[in-house]
Structure 1
Amino acid sequence: MSEQENSLRCDYVPGCGYKIWQDAKEFCYTTDAIFLGNFPHVVRKAKVLELGCGTGAISMLLESRGAAEVTALDCNPQVTRLVRQSVADNSLQDKFTVIDGDLRNYKQLLQPESMDLVASNPPYRNSGNVRQVGTAACHEVTSTLEDFFRAAAFAVRYRGRFALVQLPERFAESMQLALKYGLQPKRLQWVHSKIDKPAWIFLMEMQKGGSYGLDVLPPLIMYNQDGSYTEQVKKFYEPAVK
């Protein structure tokens, strides 16, 4: 067995129970993907795009929540190959389109104003120590945060939504980019590891051409003081009722 095959594993997406193939040498999904996949409003028969899909966990969660058509885009051919395998194993071929490509070439890869919802978990870091595993997924080595906003604004329809997860230290930057690209912030939630700890990420949903008015949701707390999941988080791991 090759070294690459040794690093492959088949897991399950919490909540929906879909099989998901992952490569430990690339980047496996984490709780921030689960939170984002459950965060945005999904309209009936929604057409959804995930920019920088990685494992495809967010895309599969959005499909399980009612999205009729899902497009997953990533520039890493290894992860898109695994997304296609996951899609096939869950018999979702009629709902999924997987695109190999650099989101900076969005005009060649996507149709303008064709999506009801765009979701993304962009790289968090634009500086600091570079991790050796999942480098492109965590650091801006192939695209910047602004590239994600630019592509999302192009692909989402008027009054459609763009949802992302990011670090608190990039909140002001995200707000500036949202306004620059006509994406009005509508819903915001801060995520804390424990109730007495600072937020470590935020979830934000923006509307293209939306009016002023931001709904700040109660904070999402991950762990109780004893280290167990809170009731807020447990609901994301309960089996979906079809």
Structure 2
Amino acid sequence: MAVERKFPGIIDKPMSFCPGCGHGVISRIICECLEELGQDQNIIFPIGVGCSSNLGAGLTTDRLHCSHGRAAAVATGMKRVNPDNLVVTYQGDGDAYSIGLAESTNAAYRNENITVITVNNTNFGMTGGQMSWTTMEGQKTTTSQHGRDCSITGAPIRFPEMVAREFDIAYAARGSVSSPANIRKTKKFITEALKAQMNKEGYSIVEVLSPCPVNWGMTPIQAMERLDKEVEPYYPVGVIKARKEAK
């Protein structure tokens, strides 16, 4: 009797994300979306440096670990020479918005036909929990030990809103893993972003809010509560710019 597979076929082995982290859920729903769209054998992942790097170890797909912050630039090259493949970056907020802000912004500015998935856990998760451009006001990190002072550092960046407002991109949304309902919404956002690329509409981005219990100094339950009560009010979940067909 055949055993029904309980997870997407392109996931090869367990990934080594920290307990309570949202990366495992996010990577799974990306793979589910690809499988449901029939694109799981037609995908290339340019993967950022950070916690996101663990994605590559668990997949059977084509992927490339990029220099820190450069995934959007690498994705641009990949898509231009492989226009029939889906190209999806997988990055953290520090990689995409701090170190890679120029590359991320320019890909959106040019409306490159790629899909960007950015996991926002409000810090540089892998390298020690330093402050990133998405760190919340007052949040303590290893480089803001008294809490982020926005009068000195500026306010946390809302990148999807910025590129949706300023550039002619195809799709932008923000999801979260704070509840089953939000996970379902996030999966829908990722599906729509992938469809935008499949339809050659241009640049699409989905930012996904994720807890980081280790660097936040919290239990997984406490971190999820913080995500819901503190992070999501500043980074609202929903569609920011809809695809033409979805309006």
Give the structure-1-normalised TM-score. Answer: 0.40
Greater helix proportion: 2
Give the structure-2-normalised TM-score. Answer: 0.40
Greater strand proportion: 1
